[in-house]
Structure formats: structure tokens, C-alpha cells
Amino acid sequence: MTTIEVAGLALTYPGPPAVPALRGVDLRAEGGLLAVVGPSGCGKTTLLRALAGTERPEAGSISLGGERVEGPGLHLPAEARAVTLVPQEGALFPHLDVAGNVGFGLRGLPRDARRQRVAELLDLVGLPGSERRRPHQLSGGQQQRVALARALAPRPRAVLLDEPFSALDATLRVSMREEVVALLREASTTAVLVTHDRDEALSLADRVAVMHEGRVLQVGEPSEVYRRPSSLWVARLLGETVEIAGEVAEGVAATVLGRIPVAGDGERLVLRPEQVVPTREGVPAVVEGVRFRGPEASVALRVGDTALTARWASTELPAVGDLVRVGVRGPAIAVD
Ligand code: ADP
Ligand code: MG
């Protein structure tokens, strides 16, 4: 597993107008799967290109497995980095068959060795014997697997995946996600997966880096960045929030929902909707709306003057107009 270390990485696309796409990215991931999540335009693709060596940053450094590949006066070319990139679109060469695509990074190998490695990879991704097929004869999911096989074939130090599932339909997306992550784990490859989809980041990754306007705001395990966001912006990016007012004293907030333990130190209190639960000892609330969403529902509540949204299992839903009692599970997070 390859440790990836990025410090102070800055990259501006020359204009006019000049676009500062990376503004000092700091990041460290010790192998496994790192998801980089952020809105469109925040610099995710640029970060991957800088890691791959296809763009040259003007400042900062990158080390892969302890080897410095980017730094002041140093820019190891892409071919010398042993990192492969699965681009967002057009991942396969349409004029090459599957074997040609998967073997693309193996051109230095003798023909037999290359053929054997291609067959191995096609086995790994569940497409044995498909060497002679062409990209247009494959489904979207199969193309994705071939692209992954091509990226893994040269045994790279790290695989970089740029929104690999965004072109797939919803059902395929979920099954491909699980498959691809299982394949990456089987190949024991360090991977960086870029996405704007928070569910993807939170459900797949070992670590999540949250990116905003050319910077990484927070890096941590999925549960950590979701439950302990470092700012209101991160909290909102990673899920729905319940933002309430409260006086905090000695780690406890007095709020309309009662007294709630507080973690962190900031001005504003944030809960997740699933923390607001029906409970007999809770405070009275009026149900103002119920939006069914499958296994769970969003329940709009009013507590005094405060409107908030909870998320409850759809097996036990109240009706609009009901008077219920609600309480809070777990701490509120104080953020700025
Ligand atoms: P993301 O992948 O998160 O959507 P990008 O890294 O593609 O973000 O882009 C970051 C910023 O850099 C955006 O403002 C984008 O418009 C700009 N940008 C991306 N590529 C280029 C380029 N080749 N030339 C000029 N500006 C670019
Ligand atoms: Mg992008």
C-alpha cells in the first residue's frame, strides 16, 4: 500500500482569466481507498492530474510511497510515477479491442507475458475471454471494468479514479461501486476516488477528504467527517443538517429540544436528522409534513418557533398534524 502525501499544493491555470484551481492542498492517505468529495469545480480533477503528473503545480509537494515526485525544482514525468488514472469520460480507446485496452500500459512486456497479464486482469474483473471484444460491444458497467483492468494491469503504486460511476444509471452505479471497491481491495492497490456524491464517498472509502474551492478542509474516516464535521460547510456537504440555537455552558447546550451534550467549539449547533427521535420523555412537537422516501421518511417538525426535519423509519410514521414528543440522541456539534 502506497502512502500519498500532498503539502501546500497550488496550481493555477493560466488565463486570461487565470483560474486558481488548487490553493494549497494538504492531504495524507496511508493506502486503502481515499475518496475526495466536493462540488463541481472545486479542483478534484486538477488534483488527480497533479498526482498523475499530467499537470504541473506551481507550488507544493507530492510524495508517493515516501518518494518525492513533485516539489520545488522537481517534476517527475507521468510515465515515471507508476500511477494510473481512470478519466471521467471516454475511458477506453474505441479503436482498440479489450486486450489492446487492458494491455496498453504493458507495451514494454514480451508478448506472452502481456497476454498472460491481460487474461489475469480480465479474470479479476469478471470478464474472462473477452479479449477480442470492442468497447462499443460492452455495457456501461463492462466498459468500467475494462477501464479498471487497464489501470491495474501495470501494477501501479496508486490508481486514480475520476468520478468513475457518474455516467452509470442508478442501479448499475450501486452494484458497480461495491464491485470496484472489492476489486481494488483484492488487488491491494492504493486508490484515490474523486466524486461529488457524498453517499459514494461515505459508503466506500477508508478515508474521506472534503474539498472546497481548491483546498482540502477536512480528512478523516467517513464516520468522523460525517459526525464531527470541522465546519458548517462540511456538515452541509456531507448530509442534511438540523441547525438549532442554544446557550452552551460546560459542554451542554440548552435548546428547544432540551439539554444536549455538545462536542467541538464553534458558534453554531448542528445535529443530523436521524439524531432527532420520537421519545416519550421528549419535548412536544407538531408534525407539519411527512415526506416518504422508501425505507425512511423526512418528518418536518415544529417545536415552539423552531422548524426542523427529522428522519424516521417509514414503519412508524406519524400523520401531519399529530402532536408527538421528540428528543435527541448523541451530541450536537458546535461548528463555525
Ligand atoms: P472538479 O473536477 O472538482 O469539477 P476541476 O479540477 O475540473 O474541478 O476544475 C477546477 C477549476 O479549474 C474550475 O474552475 C475549472 O473551470 C478550472 N479548469 C479546469 N481545467 C481547466 C483548464 N484546462 N484550463 C482552465 N481552467 C480549467
Ligand atoms: Mg472533475
- CA 253 to CA 269: how far, in whole Å? 9
- Measured from the Cα of 46, ligand 1's closest atom is 6
C-alpha of residue 4 to centroid of ligand 2, in Å: 20
Q: Do residues 105 and 177 share a domain?
A: yes
Q: Do residues 181 and 317 share a domain?
A: no
List, in order, residues 6 or more apart from 142 with CB less than 8 Å away: 127, 130
| Domain boundary pick from 216, 236, 256 | 236
What pLDDT score was predicted for residue 90? 63
| Dihedral sign, Cα of residue 153, residue 154, residue 155, residue 158 | negative
What's 48's domain CATH number?
A: 3.40.50.300
Q: Do residues 131 and 81 share a domain?
A: yes
C-alpha of residue 21 to centroid of ligand 1, in Å: 6
Peptide bond before 16: cis, by omega within 30 degrees of 0?
A: yes
Q: Do residues 216 and 113 share a domain?
A: yes
Check: CB of residue 7 under 8 Å from CB of residue 57: no
| Domain boundary pick from 236, 259, 279 | 236
Show the ligand 1 pocket: residues with CB < 6 angstroms.
Answer: 13, 19, 21, 38, 40-46
**176 SS3 class:** helix
Q: Do residues 232 and 286 share a domain?
A: no
Q: Do residues 36 and 78 share a domain?
A: yes
| Dihedral sign, Cα of residue 137, residue 142, residue 144, residue 147 | negative
- Measured from the Cα of 48, ligand 1's closest atom is 6
The sheet with strand 67-71 has its strands ordered as: 19-30, 3-13, 59-64, 67-71, 74-75
Q: Do residues 135 and 28 share a domain?
A: yes
Locate 59 and state its grid cell.
507550488
Phi-psi region of 95 (alpha: psi -120 to 50; beta: other; left: phi over 0): alpha
Check: CB of residue 297 under 8 Å from CB of residue 290: yes
SS3 content of the chain, % helix, strand, coil (to 5): 25, 40, 35
Q: At 160, give phi and psi (nearest 5°).
A: -110, 125
Check: CB of residue 268 under 8 Å from CB of residue 253: no
Q: Do residues 229 and 159 share a domain?
A: yes
Q: Other C-beta atoms within 10 Å of 35: how many?
A: 26
Closest CA to 335 of 230, 243, 259, 237: 230
What are the pLDDT tens digits along the chain (336 aa)? 889 999 999 999 997 899 999 999 999 988 899 999 999 999 999 999 999 999 999 999 999 999 999 999 999 999 899 999 988 776 799 999 999 999 998 988 999 999 999 999 998 888 999 999 999 999 888 888 899 899 999 989 999 999 988 777 777 778 878 888 888 888 788 999 999 999 999 999 999 999 999 999 999 999 999 999 999 999 999 999 999 999 999 999 999 999 999 998 888 999 999 999 999 999 999 999 999 989 999 999 999 999 999 999 998 899 999 999 999 999 999 998
Q: Other C-beta atoms within 10 Å of 4: how many?
A: 23
- CA 4 to CA 169: how far, in whole Å? 31
Locate 295 and state its grid cell.
425505507
Peptide bond before 17: cis, by omega within 30 degrees of 0?
A: yes
What is the number of structural domains in the chain?
2
Helix (H), strand (E) at residue 186 = helix 170-186
Locate 30 and state its grid cell.
496511508
Q: Do residues 213 and 263 share a domain?
A: no
C-alpha of residue 183 to centroid of ligand 1, in Å: 29
Q: Do residues 53 and 174 share a domain?
A: yes
Q: Do residues 198 and 311 share a domain?
A: no
C-alpha of residue 201 to centroid of ligand 2, in Å: 15
Q: Do residues 136 and 10 share a domain?
A: yes
Please report which ligand is nearest the Cα atom of 18: 1
Closest CA to 209 of 220, 196, 193: 220
| Domain boundary pick from 212, 236, 260 | 236
Range of the domain at 197: 3-236
Q: At 287, give phi and psi (nearest 5°).
A: -85, 115
What's 302's domain CATH number?
A: 2.40.50.140
- CA 73 to CA 7: how far, in whole Å? 15
Check: CB of residue 217 under 8 Å from CB of residue 233: yes
Locate 74 and state its grid cell.
522537481
- Measured from the Cα of 163, ligand 1's closest atom is 2
